[in-house]
Structures are given as structure tokens and as C-alpha cells.
Structure 1
Amino acid sequence: MLVVVALGGNAILRRGQPMSVENQRVSIAEACVPLAQIAADHDLVVSHGNGPQVGLLALQAASYEEISEYPFDVLGAQTEGMLGYMIEQELGNRLGNDRAIATLVTRTVVDPTDPAFDDPTKFVGPVYTADEAQAMAERHGWVMKPDGADVRRVVPSPTPLRIVETKPIQWILDNKGVVICAGGGGVPTTRDPVTDLIVGVEAVIDKDLASAVLARDLGADLLVIATDVDGVYVDWNGPDQRLIAGAHPDALNPDDFPAGSMGPKVRAAAQFARETQGTAVIGSLRDIDKMFAGTAGTTLSAARSGVEYRP
């Protein structure tokens, strides 16, 4: 069975933690325990988020005012290599380094006319107070929006259409390797309308939506969207909070869930399940055995009807 696992940002850095290499190594090492468990029995592709890391690199680049700021496609490639290396190292130490594990810097194609370019929504970088955010916006021309009680920078997040490197990913899988790719949703690119060449664009791709596209094009059997909660809830933190056990992909409206967190995960899982007749699960990596058995997480599948809740 081919499994694509999209690691949430919490698997790399917990919210509020200092963005040190050591903190990221510890979190990644923990995430690689269940990943190794999957890879022992199945073909595995791993993607991951990069919001905090790419935002920090952008902030660091902006601090050198005599040098032009690095564009987000270049920063995305940097984080794919950096985080992919750490996942590769920790996963290799779990699986045994005789197993082929490869990190690929992959490009994700988007439509240059996507309306997302006119409405930035993707959070990147650290959190700020309202006063700090206003100062950063004035200094760098950044767009800032509320993220819970804090404020963060936002950049465009256009819809991913395809991953350019699908063929080399498949070649590695055919040779029994584990692939780490589409990190941070992949390097954002589009085709130049004049030259027809692939060029980078100033954006950050949603990693869950990119993972759904990747899983679709690879013919994956299962898409696992790993997060820091045990599934999708309705009325989260409200008096009628309920955990969804499973649903048909058309039975859930992604717009009913927070746009900065669970909404894109529901959208990606539903998209994969609808387009492929495969299965997508949203939940915690700690429950990976139970998610495979269908007794944990939230499962989206065209084989289900309506919405089912856990007792």
C-alpha cells in the first residue's frame, strides 16, 4: 500500500517554542517513530509544513537592507532541503540507513491568475503583538493578519495544480525507497506565458492541498494528514463539541472549519477522497495504528455516507 503522510507544523516545531535547531530535531525524532512504523510495512512518501521556518528565513533576509530580499520560491527550496535533511536523518536512524531515503526539492505548479495572489491568507513566520506587526508592515510592506490572539505575516497561497517531479518520486518508490518531498507545499512555480518556462512565484503553497495533489498523481491508497489533535471536531471548544469519526467527502464543508488550521485539512482530505476513491485520514500520528484500523482520527471516503460521530 502506498501511503502519503503530510506532517503538520507541530511535528516539526510546537507552537510557542523557540525556533532552534535542537527543538526541531526533538520534534522530528518523535514524529519519525510512527513514520518508521509505516515505512516498515508500506511504501511511504512524507511531506511537511514550513510556515514558521520560511517566515524566519524571510525575516532574516529582510534584515540585510543592502541586499535584495530573497523571493519565496528560493526560501521554499531552502526549507525543503533543511527540514527534509532532518527528517531523512531521523527516519534513517529508525529504519536503518541501508534503506534508501531521499529528500527531493520539488516544484509545485500554480495558475498565475489565481485570485489568491490578490488576497494573501497563508501565515508565515513568528507571531507578533499588534504594535510589532504594524511596525513590521510599515518597514517591509508586509501584509499582516490576526492569528488567534496574535498577529502574523500572510502571503498568497494559490491552489496547487501538480508536482513537477512526480516521475522521479515514482522511480524512487519503485526501487523501495522512502521519499520526502513537497515540503511546505513545494516550491511555488508557474509557466511563463511568453517563454513557457517554469519560473518561481512569490507565494507559499498549502502543504495539505499539495499533498492531496501529490497523493492523487502517485495513485496513493491512503493520505494521512497529521496534526496535533485526534481528528476533526464540530463546534470545537464549544458546548456541542463532537469528534467526527468519518464522512463522505461531500458531507463536510471546509468553510465550516477555521481557515488557518482545520479548514485546509478537510478540503485536502475531501479532494483526495473525491478524486481518487481512496481514503484520507486526519488525526494524530500518535494514533497511527488506530487510524490504519479505522478506530481513530477522522476518515473521509466515498464509501461512507453522511457524517458519523464518535461516541
Structure 2
Amino acid sequence: MSANARQTVVIAVGGNALIRDKHHVAVTDQVEAVRESSSYIADLVQEGYTPVITHGNGPQVGFLLRRVELASAELPAIPLDYLGADTQGATGYMFSRSLRNELANRNIDRSIAAVVTQSIVDKNDPAFADPTKPIGSFMDEETAKRREVEDGWAVREDAGRGYRRVVPSPIPRDIVEKDVITTLVAAGCLVVAVGGGGIPVSREESGELSGVEAVIDKDRASALLASLLGVETFVICTAVDTVAINFNTPEQQELHRLTVAEAKKYLAEGQFGAGSMAPKIEAAINFLEQGGKRVIITSLPLLKDAVAGNAGTSITQ
């Protein structure tokens, strides 16, 4: 493996890096959150690393969907893949601008590029037969049934709070822009890519790409990108400093070192929340089984220390 691959690190930034809480959702609040996140990423750049930054987009897509709903009497609907592209562009702009400013303040000159990224999914993925990912606003039953008939939506009742649209969450199989990203990284460019897991597209028999109404797990797509780039280290930044078992109980135990076998064991025992930590552990296992050397799960403030091996949870073979 080249020295460049060892110094390149894929960092999957969680939603808390963009929206801290429900009281700070304005664009100005998100810009401030990204500015803070960029300072931690810049610490790694200062240490000689070339980060490839990925990010979530769930709340942002939800906001755009709500705007579409409110404007439905005047403007046509926007397909989900285009909403994903919109959020990738906006969030990529936030990160590239904030990181550029942060590095300039440290007298570091590095090129930065945000790449609108498409992730290829299999149209025969079982997820399409069982949509589970809730998106958009809550609806009453009458509205939900109407959208089901008129728009072909799949809808489900959500924990007594009303009905929501649900969409498939298929497994990403490839990344269309992988060669572009590889070229940029090889040139020493800092790249923002695979936002929200990438825009889901399928490849037709003709070879053409078609947009798909789906949502891809951000960590799984980030792990795939890390594997395609051939990097040694994949970092998942989330709201907690370390992974724990018996979470939120008197028996809670923080795990600073984990093997793949141990991670699989705890996963099978249901130690990791299905909608929170479990997808991250699954992404970590996928990356390591594809040849990766190390996965780190930690919070952004501990990023530099975690990459140095002094914080967070480190998962290896």
C-alpha cells in the first residue's frame, strides 16, 4: 500500500455535525456547526493527512420535502434523487468553504473539491420490496391513503404519531465518481463526497443510469468509498466518544478496542441500536472484511486523538 493511501482517511461525519438540536436548524446554524466540525478536520490536515469527508443529509432532505409539500399548489414535486443532489451541493459548499477558511487561518494551502456523487444500487435489491426508511412530514391516515393511491407512495404508521412515507434503503454496490475522487485524492485534494450515502441510481441494460427513489445508508456508502480508495483507516464520527455495550444502563461498558469477531458477537446480541450504532458497526465490518485495516468510531472533538490511537473505539481484524 502506498504512503498516500496510508495518509488518506475517509471521515464519515454524522448528523450532529450539521444540526446540533431542533432549536438550531437554520442555514446559519448549520454553517456554524460545519465551521466547528471543519476545525477538527483541519487538525488532521495539519498532521499531514488527506481527509475524504462524507456526511449525512437526512434532516436537510426532510426540510426540502416539507418545502415541496407547502409549495405543491403552485410548483411540481421534486423527485427524491434530485433532492439528494441538492443537499449534496449545499452541504458540500458549506464544508469546502469552511474548511478552506480554517486552513487559510493556519497558513495551510490545500485544494478542496465537493463532488456530487452517485451510488449504484441493484434494482433487484430486497429493500425495494420492503421500504422501511421514513422521510418527510407526518400525515393523517386520510392524506396518507390518498398519497398512496395518487402518487404511488408506500406509507406506514409511525409509533402513534401519524403516517409517513417510507422508501427503500438498498445496499450501495458501486460509486460512479470513484475514479474522479481517486484522481483528486492522488493530487492531494481534500474531497467532500458521497453526501447522504450518494444519489441512488441504477444501471439499465443499455448502460444508462437512472435515478431511484430511495435513501442509502451514509455509513455503508462511506465504507464502500473507503474500500474503493484503498485506504487503511475509516473513521465514523458520531454523537458519542466511544462505542458501548449495555448502553444507558448501570452496566454500561465502553469499548476502546474491538475485533471484527467481537463486533459481530455484540451485534448478534442486539447490543447496538438498530437505528443508531448497529449500521455503523455493520459498515465497519464490511470495510474491514474488504481489506481495510482499522475503523475508528468517535466524536468529532476527539478526531485527532482517535486517529493517533489515543481515544474513541478502534475496530480491527
For residues 272 and 145 of structure 1, the distance between their equivalents in structure 2, rounded to whole angstroms, comes to 34
Superimposed CA distance per residue, residues 8-45 of structure 1 (whole angstroms, 9 cap, x where no aligned partner): 01101123234210110111111111111112211110
- DSSP 3-state at the match of 1:199: strand
Residue matched to 1:271: 286
**Could you tell me whether the CA contact under 8 Å between 2:141 and 2:162 is conserved in 1?**
no
Specify the code of the residue in structure 1 equivalent to 2:86.
Answer: Q
The DSSP-based 3-state class of the residue aligned with 1:270 is helix
Report the CA distance shift for 1:87/1:148 in structure 2 as closer, same or farther (over 3 A). Answer: farther
Distance 1:205 1:221, change over 3 A: same
Q: Give deviations 1:186-220, integer Å, cap 9, x for gaps.
A: 11001123x23111100011110000000000011
Aligned pair in 2 of structure 1 residues 68, 214: CA closer, same or farther (>3 Å)? same
Is residue 62 from structure 1 mapped to residue 62 from structure 2 by the alignment?
no
d(CA) in 1 for partners of 2:157, 2:257:
32
- Which residue of 2 is the match for residue 282 of structure 1? 297
The alignment's TM-score, normalised by the length of structure 1, stands at: 0.88
Partner of residue 225, structure 2: 214
Matched, 1:232 2:238: no
Residue 310 of structure 2: SS of its match in structure 1?
Answer: coil
Cα distance in structure 2, aligned partners of 1:17 and 1:251:
38
CA contact (8 A) 2:19 2:25 kept: yes
Aligned to 2:129: 118
Secondary structure of 2:256's aligned partner: strand
Contact 1:215 1:223 in 2 (8 A): yes
Instruction: Write the letter of the residue equivalent to 2:11.
Output: V
Question: Following the alignment from structure 2 to structure 1, what is the Cα–Cα distance between the partners of residues 230 and 204?
Answer: 29
| Letter of the structure 1 residue corresponding to residue 41 of structure 2 | L
* Conservation of the 8 A alpha-carbon contact between 2:85 and 2:116: yes
> Residues 51 and 123 of structure 1 are in contact (CA less than 8 Å); yes or no, is this contact kept in structure 2?
no
Judged with a 3 Å threshold, the aligned counterparts in structure 2 of structure 1 residues 293 and 201 are, in CA distance, closer, same or farther, namely: same
Q: Is residue 12 from structure 1 mapped to residue 18 from structure 2 by the alignment?
A: yes
What residue identity is the alignment partner of 1:169?
I
Distance (Å, rounded) in 2 between the aligned partners of 1:152 and 1:223: 33
Given the superposition, is the C-alpha separation of residues 273 and 23 from structure 1 closer, same or farther in structure 2, using an over 3 Å criterion?
A: same
Tell me the CA shift for residue 174 of structure 1.
Answer: 1.6
The aligned amino acid for 2:254 is L
Alignment partner of 2:56 out of 35, 39, 49: 49
Q: Which amino acid aligns with 2:8?
A: L
1:30 equivalent in alignment to 2:40 = no
Q: In structure 1, which of residues 99, 108, 112 is the aligned counterpart of residue 110 of structure 2?
A: 99
1:163 counterpart residue number: 175
Q: Provide the rounded CA distance (Å) in 2 between the counterparts of 1:76 and 1:33.
A: 26
Per the alignment, residue 215 of structure 2 pairs with 204
How far 1:148 sits from its partner (Å)?
A: 11
In structure 2, what is the Cα distance between the partners aligned to 1:289 and 1:178? Answer: 17
State the superposition RMSD in angstroms. Answer: 2.3
Alpha-carbon distance in 2 for matches of 1:260, 1:191: 29
Q: Aligned partners of 1:67 and 1:5: how far apart in 2?
A: 37
* C-alpha separation in 1, matches of 2:142 and 2:44: 46
1:154 positional shift: 3.6
Q: Which residue of 1 aligns with 2:204?
A: 192
Out of 253-262 and 110-119, give the one that drifted further.
253-262
How far does the alpha carbon of each residue in 1:239-268 deviate from its partner, in whole angstroms, 9 at most, with x for none? 221111121123223452212111111111
Return closer, same or farther for 1:293/1:73 CA change in 2, 3 Å cut-off: same
Kindly provide the CA deviation profile for residues 111-168 of structure 1, in whole angstroms up to 9, marking residues without a partner as x.
1111112222334456x5xxx5656634644534647999865421100111111111
CA distance in 2, matches of 1:122, 1:36: 33
1:137 to 2:144 alignment: yes
Aligned residue for 2:215, secondary structure, equals: coil
Q: Which runs of 5+ in 1 are unaligned?
A: 303-311
Residues 139/283 of structure 1: CA separation in 2 closer, same or farther (3 Å cut): farther
Once residues 311 and 237 of structure 2 are traced to their aligned partners in structure 1, the CA distance between those partners, rounded to angstroms, is 12
Matched-pair contact (CA < 8 Å) for 1:145–1:154 = no
**Pair 1:109 & 2:120 matched:** yes
| AA in 2 matched with 1:75 | L
Contact kept in structure 2, 1:274 and 1:301, CA below 8 Å: no
The residue that corresponds to 1:260 in the other structure is: 275
- Is 1:74 the counterpart of 2:86? The answer is no
Name the TM-score, length of structure 2 as normaliser.
Answer: 0.87
